[in-house]
Structure 1
Amino acid sequence: MNLLFSGITLPLEDPILKFLLILVIILAAPLLLNKLKIPYLLGLIIAGAVIGPHGLNLVLRDSSIILSGTAGLLYIMFLSGLDMDMSDFKRSSRQSLVFGLYTFCIPLALGILAGYYILGFSIYSSILLAGLFASQTLIAYPIVSKLGIARDKAVTIAVGGTVITDTLALLLLTVIVGMVTGNVDDMFWWRLAISVVLCVAIIILLFPVIAHWFFKHCTDNISQYIFVLVMVFLGAYLAHLAGLEPIIGAFLAGLALNRLIPRTSPLMNRIEFVGHAIFIPFFLIGVGMLIDYRAFFRDWESLKVAAVMIVLITAAKYLAALLTQKTFRLSADQRTVIFGLSSAHVAATLAAVMVGYNIILGHTPDGEPIRLLGDSVLNGTILMILATCTISTFATQRGAHNIAVKGMRTDDQENEKQNEHILIPISNEESAAELIALGNQIKSPKNHNEIYALHAIDNKAGDTGLEKRGQKVLETAASIAAASDIYLHELLRYDVNISNAIASVARERNITDIIMGLHRDKSPSVFIGKITGDLLTEANVTTYIYKPAQPLTTLKRHIVIIPPEAEKEAGFPVWLQKIRNLSQNGGVKIVIYASQTTLHYLEPLRRRKKTEVETVLFNNWDKLQHLLREIHRDECLWLVMSRRDRVSYHPIMSKVPSYLDSHLQKNSFVLIYPMQAGTGGGRYL
């Protein structure tokens, strides 16, 4: 035993032991804290305090911890931008601005008064202290993300307001430091304004263009994830160069990539997994290492400053959340979430206090430095971080849990009549990824286990290797689905022909939707292929025929063209729900062309929250060819078809194959054949 532990010294210097210890804490924290009813985030902070230099001194807060923690903080801000519903963010921009001003101005006013009149600081020190009051950190954001309410209005307002108040607080810090050091002149304001505008413009305008090109030309999973990390840290560094805090750049990078990384995509699943498993826990443990319990007993001045900061900051943030609730008529739980998310102070607060602490205004007769923010503020800030993180975690947990429970009840009521079963016939490995991606985009967000992949084998085929090949195709499909956290039912079936196999499975499994790839023969005479044509006559199921010309995530818009009287078909509400899911899951704008009568039925969809849908009047299907010519390269066409002799059938549908072959050879498109009233499908064209 002596030989085993003879090389171990404290604090730990062996990188293997340090990493092992932190991983054990990340692993054990949920198991222990669930029994004690302590939120997971707070537990990691406490664990960091215990093992840190001010606790058991097991691990120093060295450059490796700081690097991992910085990455974790940037990750939190990036995820908050990435998780936002952009349509809701646009609608809530005014609310976010109002809350941002509330949560900046109220703490700022209280901070200046407290610093100048209660603590006796100079005016510059008081203003800088007030900047600490105004800033906030979204340390509790992982709670709302895991509970699935990241797109709730309260979260959107809180995240947007955080960016606003942190930007203002850090700009205030820049100005105050410039005034104290005598660097503020006319050019100072011009340099600051130009650098900020240039930084925001590059991230918001240029990043999406670069990312769109990259995702379109690179499908390697690892390369895509590394590219995302590059964008996060590049955005953070650009913000740093502009004089802003890097967290602002990371958030803007999340907004810039929002539409290109759908919430249901495999890439999003990887981003969230790595962040919640590694980066964010490292950040929280690093925050805990800053906490020095000895500051409680060091001197009364630190305790006084800490008490003033904790009480006034908590009161100010609660008042800002209360005013926001009253202004926009939010619920009590939404107010609690806004307060919880905005009450923690870590990143920007630490940045500001360290800047103020390092500015020396002079020296005492004894040679001691006179700092803009003294030791008492530094120690008080550490205590304030512990207190506000605790309050933030508990408040967010309570409010978010209540909102999530209410949301589950609403979803259950909406989904009572839905019984979704999606079948994806897959003939080869090359088509599997995009077919599953489409299924993932149009499925209900609550559907994780009702997607089937079928590989059918014709009984007449004499090749004995077909079964092994089919199993390999299904294994590939299951692996692709697993990357999006979807369990795929694998079905291998022999039958007299492929279409009969698909139709039989559709009946046996109560399939509601079938997603098929377009036949490889590009001749208009066999446009959708014999198998698909036969299937449309044998199976009365909503069928989507998909031709992917580029990755689904790189599309900028979906154009949906609906024939007159489509609302009279039995399958109308089925595929319409899928269009709604497409907008909600993918975050891409939907433009629907339809007749006036049909648009009337679509109005609830257009007004629905969490969907971005535009409707355009289109009465004359004889002009379909002209409309198809206007579709751009990065847009996907969704054309609602009908079987011959059905209510919504239009003679021009017989010319659709030649139109698509002439005008949309390089475009992605989906042909929708809705479920029909009665049993047979009838002729498809």
Structure 2
Amino acid sequence: MPTTLAILASAQALITDPTWIFFVVLGIILLAPLLLGRLRVPHIIGLILAGMLVGEHGLNLLSRDSSFELFGQVGIYYIMFLAALELDMGSVAQYGRSGLKFGALTFTIPFVLGWCSCRYLLHYSTLTSVLMACIFASHTLVSYPTVSRYGMSRNSVVVISVVATAFTTFAALLIVALVEGAQQPGSSVLTWVLFPVKCAAYVAFVLLVFPRLGRGFLRRYDDGVMQYIFIMALVFLSAALAKLAGLEGLLGAFMAGLVINRLVPRTSPLMNHLEFVGNALFIPYFLIGVGMIINVRSLAGGVSALWPMLILVATGILTKWIASAIMAWQGGYDRNGMWLMFGLTNAHAAGALAIVMIGIDPHVGLMGEETLNGTMLLILCSCLVSGLATGKGARALALTDTTPDENRGSYHGKCLVVYSQEDTVSVMTQLAILIRNPYIPDSLMGLSVAYDDDSNEGAGRHRRGQKLLESAQKTAAAANVRMGTLNRLSTNLAGGILHTIKEFDCGEVIMCLADRTAGTPKSSLGPVIDNVLRGSHREVMALRGIVPPGTLRRVIVTIPPKAEYEVGFYKWLEHVCRMGEQLDCHLDFHAHADTLPYIRGYMQNKHPSLRAGYKPMEHWEDWLALRNETGKDTMLVVVTARPGFISYQTEFDDLPYKIHIYFSHTSVMLLYPDQWGDPQDSVCVFAPNGSAVTRRPRTLKNWLRQFFTQ
């Protein structure tokens, strides 16, 4: 009687034409979630069941050919890579100890109980029992896309589970590598001596080279296709190097995600491209391929054939549940947290497939048809249970999690981005996506204002503005963010911006901090920005970005004394926190000793996982010393104030000049917070740039200083 392996090798599928094969696969990816979604079956399970239906052991429509092996391998790597890429590294640092504790539990309990059940109940050999115990101990984040859809990827339970996944996967595959090496005829003492050396060299190379290589490439090239190909090349290079070191490629993909994590902001176009391609093609291909391997007909072989499979399935699922229950009890998590933890760590797919394929390899010869069928049934049942448990836990936690109102800041209006230069469109749009309020619809708006002088030049400027807005919309759409646009003509540029702020109730404005020209006063940011500041008390951010925001590693924030008394204090602080959270970079706050407790308290209550430092700055003039701490991978945020308000200082008058002289090498944002009252200054509508009729008040000392230094 032919074995399952022989059937897999000799089956002839009904559909062999590549075009029709790809069409059927796309049809499954499209229709399986839609049809089974009506039955409330998770789409992950639907794809596995669809693979069983069309595979060799079902209707035999498709064979698991090289395309499924290739795309499935990419899908396995993609799952591990995205799991690491979507990690909040601040949360990992915060919950890393708990994650390692859970990893030790969810590895040790299944490994020990699994080895005992295989050795004493099923009477497998010692090494075969070790391989099966590694299958029980390891798990794959198959249901992680469900967590992402509920927006729970940074929840503490999810972070702990992902850290535990890294631990169990590494430990299990390390043991498998040792067993495989012991079975190889060419292994020697030198092989075992070199193994830890190769592993250490691999880890050191990835940690030291990949971040520098990635940051340099992403700074130099902003084309979305090139960035995507580059990131994927790093992932597969890491996987290939891991295999050379004697590890599994899964660990290499996960390692690549960890080191690239800080280079790809969560809401960036690059992140959207990575998730889209993986979730639309590679991961579904992998899940369909898993279903095609499962031989349901083996269940009809009688009690003698069914008993070992039931033992394997029960051991694999129950041991993971025991570990999750113990961790939830010790960590103080409720029932929903336990179900989510169990769902994420219960699915045996990628690691189990890798281990069983190693076990049935003729050079190893530790597994046969019984263990193969049992493992395939374990994959099916564990994925079914994992999808249901993850969906139940994630849905319940999402409903009971923190309400959006607690994190909206002091004002809920649109974020208005004013475009004037072509080379700044991408950076300004990416930054606006980072700081916008994600809890309100249509929170992003682009504006271009052209001077209307009734000439052909005015029409040309209007067309140029439309091109800028189209480019901004493409950048926002690539990040899956909707941006409204307005291209208007005005006899006064600042007036056009101010009218837009009022008409569309914009809460904050981002403008380009242009290079200074000869004859510009030291106190001026340019006539347009100056008059927008005079004509509105909404938050204004004047930005000069020299590198894409995703390549920033640190944000330095300087705050003047008494800034906590301004009405917009917590609003701009929330914007800075959103930027740090999305970029996963370090925040350094330099402020007066009386102001720092307010900042630290807000950070601990609202953003406890953010990496932040708090340094007292007794005198405002000390902020100039920060020029020695800044570089291309740093952004300097200077919080200032409009004249006449409580945190305003006369030293603010020459801020634009000092920024130009001392900080030309770094990205800079001058931030003017929301402030009380209505502006009293008027704007002259007859000047193209809106030169104000009134000027900001200055002291005699300040006037004399400017007179003699200009």
CA contact (8 A) 2:33 2:47 kept: no
Match of 1:660 in 2: 659
1:457 is displaced (CA, Å) by 2.3
What secondary structure does 1:396 align onto?
helix
CA contact (8 A) 1:429 1:477 kept: no
State the alpha-carbon separation in 2 of the partners of residues 244 and 417 from structure 1. 51
CA offset digits 1:496-547 (Å, max 9, x no partner): 3000111111111111100000124345626511111111111111100001
CA contact (8 A) 1:559 1:635 kept: yes
- 2:485 corresponds to 1:482: no
- 2:585 corresponds to 1:588: yes
Aligned pair partner of 2:555 in 558, 581, 605 = 558
Match of 1:450 in 2: 443
Match of 2:649 in 1: 650
State the alpha-carbon separation in 1 of the partners of residues 110 and 273 from structure 2. 38
Mapping for residues 260-279 of structure 1, pairs under 5 Å? 260-279=263-282
Query: Do the aligned partners of residues 428 and 623 (structure 1) sit closer, same or farther apart at CA in structure 2, a change above 3 Å counting?
Result: closer
What letter corresponds to residue 256 of structure 2 in structure 1?
A
Match of 1:623 in 2: 622
Q: Which blocks of at least 5 consecutive residues in structure 2 are unaligned? A: 1-11, 682-695, 699-710
1:436 is displaced (CA, Å) by 0.9
What letter corresponds to residue 648 of structure 2 in structure 1?
Y
Aligned pair partner of 2:368 in 371, 374, 388 = 374
What secondary structure does 2:180 align onto?
helix
CA contact (8 A) 1:115 1:129 kept: yes
Match of 2:671 in 1: 672
Which stretch of structure 1 is more off in the superposition, 655-664 or 512-521? 655-664
Mapping for residues 111-130 of structure 1, pairs under 5 Å? 111-130=114-133
State the alpha-carbon separation in 1 of the partners of residues 33 and 590 from structure 2. 50
CA contact (8 A) 2:412 2:437 kept: no
Match of 1:420 in 2: 413
CA contact (8 A) 2:143 2:343 kept: yes
CA offset digits 1:447-501 (Å, max 9, x no partner): 4512111111223352333333332222222222111111111112232300011
State the alpha-carbon separation in 1 of the partners of residues 516 and 652 from structure 2. 19
Match of 1:597 in 2: 594
TM-score, normalised to structure 1's length? 0.94
What secondary structure does 2:471 align onto?
helix
CA contact (8 A) 1:301 1:376 kept: no
Q: Percentage identity across aligned positions? A: 34
Mapping for residues 121-140 of structure 1, pairs under 5 Å? 121-140=124-143
Match of 2:92 in 1: 89
What secondary structure does 2:242 align onto?
helix
What letter corresponds to residue 403 of structure 1 in structure 2?
L
Match of 2:684 in 1: none
CA offset digits 1:351-386 (Å, max 9, x no partner): 22222223578xxxxxxxxx4223211111111111
CA contact (8 A) 1:558 1:588 kept: yes
State the alpha-carbon separation in 2 of the partners of residues 353 and 101 from structure 1. 23
CA contact (8 A) 1:629 1:663 kept: no
Match of 2:685 in 1: none
1:111 is displaced (CA, Å) by 1.4
Aligned pair partner of 1:229 in 227, 232, 250 = 232
Mapping for residues 271-310 of structure 1, pairs under 5 Å? 271-298=274-301, 300-310=303-313
What letter corresponds to residue 51 of structure 1 in structure 2?
V
- 2:528 corresponds to 1:501: no
Aligned pair partner of 1:104 in 87, 100, 107 = 107
CA offset digits 1:84-104 (Å, max 9, x no partner): 000110111111111111111
CA contact (8 A) 1:302 1:377 kept: no
Match of 2:383 in 1: 389
What letter corresponds to residue 619 of structure 2 in structure 1?
N
State the alpha-carbon separation in 2 of the partners of residues 675 and 355 from structure 1. 62
1:404 is displaced (CA, Å) by 1.7
Aligned pair partner of 1:175 in 174, 178, 181 = 178
CA offset digits 1:184-210 (Å, max 9, x no partner): 654343222112222222222211110
CA contact (8 A) 1:295 1:383 kept: no
1:75 is displaced (CA, Å) by 0.6
State the alpha-carbon separation in 2 of the partners of residues 627 and 354 from structure 1. 56
What letter corresponds to residue 73 of structure 1 in structure 2?
I
Query: Do the aligned partners of residues 404 and 559 (structure 1) sit closer, same or farther apart at CA in structure 2, a change above 3 Å counting?
Result: same
1:427 is displaced (CA, Å) by 2.0
State the alpha-carbon separation in 2 of the partners of residues 618 and 360 from structure 1. 67
What letter corresponds to residue 435 of structure 1 in structure 2?
M
Aligned pair partner of 1:525 in 521, 531, 534 = 521
1:179 is displaced (CA, Å) by 3.5
Query: Do the aligned partners of residues 681 and 635 (structure 1) sit closer, same or farther apart at CA in structure 2, a change above 3 Å counting?
Result: farther
- 2:48 corresponds to 1:39: no
State the alpha-carbon separation in 1 of the partners of residues 513 and 697 from structure 2. 14
CA offset digits 1:32-66 (Å, max 9, x no partner): 11211111000000001111111111111011111
CA contact (8 A) 2:410 2:568 kept: no
State the alpha-carbon separation in 2 of the partners of residues 606 and 205 from structure 1. 30
Match of 1:541 in 2: 538
Match of 1:147 in 2: 150
- 2:631 corresponds to 1:636: no
What secondary structure does 2:399 align onto?
helix
1:394 is displaced (CA, Å) by 0.7
Query: Do the aligned partners of residues 178 and 481 (structure 1) sit closer, same or farther apart at CA in structure 2, a change above 3 Å counting?
Result: closer
What letter corresponds to residue 521 of structure 2 in structure 1?
S
Match of 1:368 in 2: none
What secondary structure does 2:488 align onto?
strand
1:629 is displaced (CA, Å) by 3.3
State the alpha-carbon separation in 2 of the partners of residues 522 and 557 from structure 1. 29
What secondary structure does 1:445 align onto?
coil
What secondary structure does 1:465 align onto?
helix
- 2:327 corresponds to 1:324: yes
